[in-house]
Amino acid sequence: MRSGMRRTLVRAIPLAVGAAALASAIYLSGPRRIAAYLGRADPALLAAAALSEASAIALTGLAWHSIVRGMSLRPRAVDSLKATGLEIFVDATIPTGTLGGEFLRITYAYNKMRIPIWNSVAAAVVLRVLIAGVLASLLASAAYLGLARLSAMWLLLAASAAAVAAVAAVAAFPSKAASLAPGRYRALAEEAIGPVAAALRSKGAIAALGLVFAEIASSAAAQMLAFSALGIRIPYYFVMVAYPIYDVLLALPTGIPGSFGVADVGTSIIYASLGVRWPAALAGMIATRIVCLISDAAMGLPVLLLEAGRMAPPADIWRALRGEGRGAG
C-alpha cells in the first residue's frame, strides 16, 4: 500500500512542477492578458491547426512505416499509423518521458503486426536520428540567417549533430560497435545493432527522411496557426527557429506528460527572444498545447481504448532489457 502511494507521489511530483512552472509564467504575464488572447481565438484557425498537427502525426507514422518496410517487412500502413498514434498519445498524457509510448508501439507492433522486437526498436532509433538530423539542419539554417541568438540553440545543434554522427558510425561499422559492449551484453548488442544498421542503409530510410521533413513542417505550421488563431502574427521562419527547441523539450525524459509546462514556458522564452511579446508568446503556446492534445487524442485514444488493453507485453522485451539471453527477432 505504502509503496503504491510512494510511486503515485513520485509520478505526481514532476507533473506538479510543470504545472507550477506554467502557472508562475501565467501569473507573471498577467492572467487577464492571457485570458484576453485566448478569449478571441478563431475556431476555424484552431481547427486548421489541429488538422495540421494530425497530419504531422500521420506523416510520422508513415516515416516509421517506411523504415520498417526497408527492413524487408510488410506491415499495413494503417497499422503503422495506429501504432504511432498510440505512441504519441501516451507520451503526451502519461508521465513516462518518451519511453512509455515507444514501449507501447513496440508492444503493438509485436502483438498486432508480428514485427520482431529488435526491428521495431531499430525503426524507433532510426526515426529519432532522422528527426534529430532535420532539427539540426533547421538550427544550422537559423544560425546562418543570424536568428539563433541563444546558447541553448547552439548546444542543441551540437548534440543533434553528435547523435547523428554516432548512429552513422554504428551503421558503417556495426560489428565494431557491438564489440565495444561488455561481454555479458555483447550478444544483446549484436541483436540490437544489426537491424539499426540495416534500416539506416535501406531505401526506406531515405523515403522516411523526406516524410520527417514534411512532418516537422506540418507540426510547425500547426504552431503558427495556433498563434494566428489568437490574432498573433509571427513569421513562419520564427516558428522554424523555435520549433526545434520545442520538439526537444517535448521529448525530454522529465517524467512530465508531454513536458507539460516545461515545453510551453521554454518555447515561449524562445519566441520572446525573437521579439514576440511575452504574454502573446505564452498565450500562443497554451493554444498550441490545446491543439496538440486534441490531435493526439484523435489519433491515439481510440487505439488505446479499443486495442491496447488486450495486448500483452512480450516477455522477450523484459529479458532483453535485463540482459537475460537473446531477444526475439
7-17 confidence digits (pLDDT tens): 666 566 777 77
Rounded to whole angstroms, how far apart are CA atoms 30 and 225?
23
Rounded to whole angstroms, how far apart are CA atoms 267 and 278?
11
Q: Residue 76, SS3?
A: coil
Q: Let me know: does 207 contact 66? Beta carbons within 8 Å.
A: yes
Task: Provide the pLDDT confidence category of residue 96 given band limits of 50, 70 and 90.
Answer: low
Task: Provide the pLDDT confidence category of residue 329 given band limits of 50, 70 and 90.
Answer: very low
Greater confidence (55 vs 125) lies with 55
Greater confidence (14 vs 57) lies with 57
Name the residue among 206, 276, 225 with its Cα closest to residue 50. Answer: 225
Greater confidence (25 vs 153) lies with 25
**Mean pLDDT estimate for the chain:** 81
Report the pLDDT value the prediction gives residue 324, as an integer from 0 to 100: 43
Report the pLDDT value the prediction gives residue 167, as an integer from 0 to 100: 62
| Structure-block grid coordinates of residue 29 | 504575464
Task: Report pTM.
Answer: 0.83
Rounded to whole angstroms, how far apart are CA atoms 170 and 77?
28
Greater confidence (10 vs 92) lies with 92
| Structure-block grid coordinates of residue 298 | 484523435
Which one of 96-105, 163-172, 269-278 scores highest in mean pLDDT? 269-278
Amino acid letter, 144: Y
Rounded to whole angstroms, how far apart are CA atoms 117 and 37?
47
Task: Provide the pLDDT confidence category of residue 171 given band limits of 50, 70 and 90.
Answer: low
Percent of the chain scoring above 70 in pLDDT: 72
Q: Let me know: does 153 contact 139? Beta carbons within 8 Å.
A: yes
Sign of CA dihedral 243, 244, 246, 250: positive
Rounded to whole angstroms, how far apart are CA atoms 159 and 151?
12
Q: What are phi and psi of 98, to 5 degrees?
A: -110, 10
Which one of 6-20, 31-45, 127-141, 254-268 scores highest in mean pLDDT? 31-45
Q: How many CB atoms lie within 10 A of CB 180?
A: 10
The string of pLDDT tens digits covering residues 288-305 is 999 999 999 999 999 988
DSSP 8-state code for residue 96:
B
pLDDT at 38 over 60: yes
Report the pLDDT value the prediction gives residue 322, as an integer from 0 to 100: 52
Cβ neighbourhood burial of 322 (10 Å; 0-12, 13-18, 19+)? exposed
Report the pLDDT value the prediction gives residue 129, as an integer from 0 to 100: 84
DSSP 8-state code for residue 202:
S
What residues does 96 pair with on adjacent strands? Answer: 98
- The CA-based dihedral angle spanning residues 169, 171, 175, 179, taken in that order and rounded to the nearest 10 degrees: 50
Name the residue among 233, 240, 250 with its Cα closest to residue 139. Answer: 240
Rounded to whole angstroms, how far apart are CA atoms 224 and 45?
10
